A and B are shown apart, each in its own frame.
Chain A
Amino acid sequence: MNEIIIKVDNLSKNFGQVQAVKNISFEVKQSEIFAFLGPNGAGKTTTIRMLITLLLPSSGDATINGYSLIHHPAEVRKVIGYVPQMISVDGSLTVRENLMLMAHLYDVSYRECNERIKETLAFLDLEEYAGSLVRTLSGGMIRKLEVGQAMLHHPHLLFLDEPTTGLDPIAKRHIWEHLMELRDSFGTTIFFSTHNMDEAEDACDKVAIMDAGEIAAIGAISELKEKTNKKDATLEDAFIFFTGNELQANGNFREIKRTRLIHHRLG
């Protein structure tokens, strides 16, 4: 239960002259719900992209379930699931076909495939939409389907990049109910990024506050609040205490465009 599943060691990523992630180190234990909290442009997505083997680190390394990102990326890919910030399901395929695609890409055997899809559809309450084209679904159902795609192969670790961006409060609550159930049922570790304080406060066991490519603080929310020496401190107070800034929606043109596009596509 307390085994370390992610061990990050001096990880950095440069894009030309810009250092997006600066020598960060941290650990995440198995079955933890771990949040990466920070404004747009803080380096959350870049860090996640390195941890899921999509980007090669400029320096440093990390191990996922004991496998090095740099030396064993193929092994890392087998034990993780990933839900990107953008809407990553194929609207031209049905719900079942989207699940089938990921099941096959994650090497779920043909024998087990139908059973896993059935199980996932039931888990996410999507059974009646199995034959529907995804482009006809609501935003909340699309996000649920994405979680379903990422959990089909029963990964040890699920990465979610701002999973509730663009969703209404009810859909957000449903997504988190399913994620909690996923952790409780399968012991899946959940690593997610967010710039939403409430979401981090409600959901996670441990949080890392990220600012300008660095980890400003890391620990349980209660610990971080305590360090502010402020009575009834909120997570936002902790954020201001450790970074000196308020958590606002910064980010470059591309990030803002992406966020708005997600809002638009999820209706």
Chain B
Amino acid sequence: MMNYILQLIKKTWVMAEMEVRKLLHDPTELITRAIQPILWLGIFGEALSKIRAIPTEGFSYLQFITPGILTQSITFVSIFYGLAIIWERDMGLLQKVLVTPTPRLALVWGKMISAGVRGLSQAIIIYIFTLVLQIHLRITLLSTVGVVFITMLGASFFTGLSMIIASIVKTRERFMGIGQIITLPLFFASNAIYPISIMPSWLQAIATINPLTYMVNGLRALLVTGNVSRLPFDIAILIIATFGISFISAYMYPKVVV
């Protein structure tokens, strides 16, 4: 058992390290991915903030949606990780890795961590953009640590989800379709750009079981409201969801090659 745990840690680290190295060799992806959240904040956020139609608990609309846009950006980066898995399968790289004596969970966790690193780069870009737009956020050591933790957890969850989808749909074309179908409803059925209280009751029910909601809650508490009373609950939900999905993903992931 101890040997398995050591293998798991070592090989998770190896997989994550190689993913980060790839990112360092070619960081253009990070820049291109940053455009979408910048547009959401700069155009959608600015426009909606003028209307003042959405109750935002005493904060400006731009403050209110910044955690939501960060969450959306992380989700979008992570959810298309499944596409990379299918690409690796088509290349033969996945098969080669799967026949090494590596725990399947390490392969999944390695991908999850690297998605988290990509998510953190999005967080940094959004932080910088909020300074440009003069959106006031609570940036302290504690909030930064919390944001890093929640970003890693959220990115991991959605990466695990995308790997499960990849193992079911198996082709890039189908994955693109399913990815689009899942990401936007997840985003709109959460409290990312409006509070749950203004949703119809059926949508509130969906938002309550949507992990994205808990991610936004946590980030909003840390970056905007400072009310962290619910934070342990939000983080606990994310931890349970992330670990749960990682085990399912480790079981399903090798099936992508069949």
- Interface of A toward B, CB cutoff 8 Å: 49, 52-55, 74, 77-78, 80, 82-90, 92-94, 97, 101-102, 104-107, 133, 149-150, 261
Contacts and interface: CB of A to CB of B under 8 A. Distances in A.
Interface string B5-30: 00100110010001001100110000
B90 A93 contact: no
B130 interface: no
B92 A105 contact: no
A104 B92 contact: no
**7 pairs of A and B residues whose beta carbons are closest in the complex:** A86-B92, A88-B92, A84-B92, A105-B100, A92-B22, A104-B14, A77-B101
B99 A77 contact: yes
B99 A80 contact: yes
Nearest to A92: B22
Contacts of A107: 7, 101
Interface residues of B, number: 24
A88 B22 contact: no
Contacts of B92: 84-88
Given A104-B11, A104-B14, A90 B95 contact: no
Given A80-B99, A105-B100, A106-B100, A88 B14 contact: no
B96 interface: yes
Chief secondary structure at chain B's binding surface = helix
Contact of B101 (A49, A55, A78, A97): A78
Nearest to B18: A101
B25 A133 contact: yes
Contacts of A55: 258
A90 B14 contact: no
B48 interface: no
A85 to B, nearest CB: 7
A84 B96 contact: yes
Q: Which of B7, B26, B102, B254 has the most CB of A within 10 A?
A: B102
Contact of A54 (B21, B91, B95): B95
A89 B99 contact: no
Given A88-B95, A97-B21, 20 more contacts: A49-B95, A49-B257, A53-B99, A54-B254, A77-B99, A80-B99, A82-B96, A82-B99, A84-B95, A85-B92, A86-B90, A88-B93, A92-B22, A92-B25, A94-B25, A101-B18, A104-B10, A104-B14, A105-B101, A150-B96
